[in-house]
Amino acid sequence: MLLLMARIPYQPPDLGEPRLVVEAIRQRRGGRLLNLDRMLLHSPPYALGWNRFLGAVRGDLVLSPRLRELAICGVAVLNGAEYEYQHHAPLFLQAGGTPAQLAALSNWEQATTDDRRFDPQERATLRLTFEMTRNVRVDDETFALVKATWPDPRQVVELVGVIAAYNMVSRFLVALEVEPE
């Protein structure tokens, strides 16, 4: 495991100001500040916006939590975001994913066609995650598969949004070398 040292010192774990921002983040986090929060709090407006946005992504979508967490874990693996993976792999398992599925993410080409470990929705999720993360542009065949898998546009928008949001998260974490707790 690669040992990281954050490129910018974290804000202190007992930070109290700006009070409303810190309280909002602590409330979403069950009373504590994670290293990610302590890094974000160098910019209180950014931290507040991040907290609200990611809170909605994590708690207000109709997209299945299992598929959401599969996409997030996939983004983390593809981008080498160990922090993101460590936080979301347990959530994927809690949502019904399996350790074998997590292990399969290390070989993307096989995972997107592995019908023993992944059902059709999961394979479509993986394919979209890979293309959005590695290529940015999604090919027409993949997008047609996604639309056929989720005929409700809301779920398609939410899945695309989750993948985009967690690419943002992983890029922030990796660029600043935020360390897992």
**Can you read off the two tokens belonging to residue 92?**
């994927």
Do 154 and 106 belong to one domain?
yes
On whether residue 4 sits in a domain, the answer given is no
Do 47 and 81 belong to one domain?
no
DSSP assignments along 123-150, one per residue: HHHHHHHHIIIIISSPPHHHHHHHHHH-
Number of compact structural domains in the chain = 2
State the pLDDT confidence band at 129, using cuts at 50, 70 and 90: very high
Do 86 and 120 belong to one domain?
yes
Q: Of all residues in the chain, what percent carry a pLDDT higher than 90? A: 96
Q: For position 176, what pLDDT does the model report?
A: 98
Do 53 and 133 belong to one domain?
no
Q: What is the CATH number of the domain that holds 76?
A: 1.20.1290.10
Q: Please state, in angstroms and as integers, the Cα–Cα distance from residue 117 to each residue in 77, 83, 102, 111, 167, following that order.
A: 17, 25, 10, 8, 24
Q: What is the mean pLDDT of the chain?
A: 96
On whether residue 71 sits in a domain, the answer given is yes
**Per-residue pLDDT tens for 31-57?**
999 999 999 999 999 999 999 999 999
Q: For position 5, what pLDDT does the model report?
A: 84
Do 80 and 112 belong to one domain?
yes
On whether residue 83 sits in a domain, the answer given is yes
Q: For position 4, what pLDDT does the model report?
A: 57
What's the whole-number mean pLDDT along residues 136-142? 98
Higher pLDDT, 27 or 3: 27
Do 26 and 115 belong to one domain?
no
Measured CA to CA, the distance from residue 112 to residue 119 in angstroms comes to 10
Do 34 and 121 belong to one domain?
no
pTM of the model: 0.94
Give the structural domain span for 155: 65-176
State the pLDDT confidence band at 84, using cuts at 50, 70 and 90: very high
